[in-house]
Amino acid sequence: MRPGRALGALGGITGNANALRVTVAILILMVFVPMLHSGYYENLGRGVLMFATLSLGWNLIGGYTGYVSFGNVVFFGLGSYTTAALWQHWHQQSIVLAVICAMVVGVAFALVLGMPILRLRGHYFGIATLGIALATQEIVSNVDWLGAGSGFTVRPVDAYSTYYYAMWIVCAASMLATYLIARSKLGYAFVAIRENEEAAAVLGVDPTRYKVIAWAISAAMAAAAGAVFAGANGFIDPPTAFALDNNVFPIVMVILGGVGTVAGPLVGALILTAINETLWSHFPQIHTLFFGAVIVVVVVFLPRGILWLFNTRGGWKGVAGSLGAYRV
């Protein structure tokens, strides 16, 4: 890994400072959404926060470390089922307890599978993570203690907005954790692995160890989001907990907002959710077709994300030269 390239990569590790400030301001403003007394906007806002958290988690392993996972939804699903099991079998309704237990389950799962899986690289790793997600969904569907294919009913707390604020806290904590990691030696180790794993190993970075750490933190974020989602949704079954949207959308949101940045996941979640809602409102019958086209456009023409456009020397004039230059 050439020193200049490494320093360039590390210099952009937190993304555009102004964009980060604006994103934090937007996150703060989202605290007041429940005060609108609109169930629609509250659900929409909670969805944005949930996908932003999932995107932040994926960004650690896919953006900073460079290992593209197609199975991070498994942690979201495990977090959802942790909340459901706590209520169904132990009648525990505490959101804090559910989030903590979900994070423990997610991290434990990532640690157990991380050692063998993260020795794979490239598309082999991606396919393996996808296989894990599909296999886990199938196992859950056949375990009676987890409700099998019928799922669980989760009794929500009396104050519905509680779940909104819980998701906001989970998202804000995930963003803060990403910011702190990005500015620490841990974040530098992640980026070193992404840029050149062999060179990082020569410099004393244990690739497997740091990849497992990145995946475990990613798992904790996704599991926490799943724990809050289960209570807010009121019902969990395998297709809901391991939904394809929860697997694909976070990846596209990170790419749209900015891969390997702190603010990018929330920016991508806001924009993609807005596009999705607009298309659904105006083109409900062919909504999926249009949305699929949007995803293709994002991946082809914004491979580094919107935030990277503002980091490009020369602003918008330098955009054309940067398109296609980044590969996760």
**Are the CB atoms for 218 and 78 separated by under 8 Å?**
no
Q: Tens digit of pLDDT for each residue in 152-177? A: 888 777 677 999 999 999 999 999 99
How far, in Å, are 14, 28, 262, 269, 302 from residue 23 at the CA level?
12, 9, 9, 11, 19
Over range 4-9, report the average pLDDT.
Answer: 41
Percentage of the chain modeled with pLDDT above 90: 67
Q: Confidence class of residue 311 from pLDDT cuts 50, 70 and 90?
A: low
Over range 209-220, report the average pLDDT.
Answer: 96
Q: Does residue 322 carry a pLDDT above 50?
A: no
Question: From the CB of residue 58, how many other CB atoms can be counted at a distance below 10 Å?
Answer: 27
Q: Does residue 68 carry a pLDDT above 80?
A: yes
The residue segments making up the domain with residue 89 are 3-244
Between CA 200 and CA 207 the distance in angstroms is: 7
Which residue would you say has higher pLDDT here, 74 or 305? 74
Q: Does residue 12 carry a pLDDT above 70?
A: no
Between CA 173 and CA 181 the distance in angstroms is: 12
Q: Is residue 122 part of a domain?
A: yes
Q: Tally the C-alpha atoms within 13 A of residue 205's C-alpha that lie toward its C-beta.
A: 24
Query: Which of 37-41, 159-163, 211-215 shows the highest mean pLDDT?
Result: 211-215
CA-nearest of 215, 221, 250, 244 to 102 is 221
**Average confidence score pLDDT of the chain:** 87
SS3 at position 120: coil
- DSSP summary character for residue 183: T
Q: Is residue 314 part of a domain?
A: no
Over range 281-303, report the average pLDDT.
Answer: 82
**Are the CB atoms for 54 and 266 separated by under 8 Å?**
no
The structure tokens 């030696």 sit at: 185
Q: Tens digit of pLDDT for each residue in 240-288? A: 999 999 999 999 999 999 999 999 999 999 999 998 888 888 888 887 8
CA-nearest of 45, 30, 53 to 246 is 53
Q: Does residue 313 carry a pLDDT above 70?
A: no
Q: Is residue 262 part of a domain?
A: no
Q: Is residue 82 part of a domain?
A: yes
Q: Does residue 46 carry a pLDDT above 50?
A: yes
Q: Is residue 23 part of a domain?
A: yes
Domain count for the chain, please give it.
1
Q: Is residue 275 part of a domain?
A: no
Predicted pLDDT at 316: 42
Q: Tens digit of pLDDT for each residue in 74-120? A: 999 999 999 999 999 998 889 999 999 999 999 999 999 998 999 89
Predicted pLDDT at 319: 41
Query: pTM of this prediction?
Result: 0.89
Q: Confidence class of residue 15 from pLDDT cuts 50, 70 and 90?
A: low
Q: Confidence class of residue 56 from pLDDT cuts 50, 70 and 90?
A: very high
End-to-end Cα spacing for the chain: 16
Q: Does residue 4 carry a pLDDT above 90?
A: no
Predicted pLDDT at 198: 93
Q: Is residue 306 part of a domain?
A: no
Between CA 86 and CA 293 the distance in angstroms is: 40
Q: Is residue 249 part of a domain?
A: no
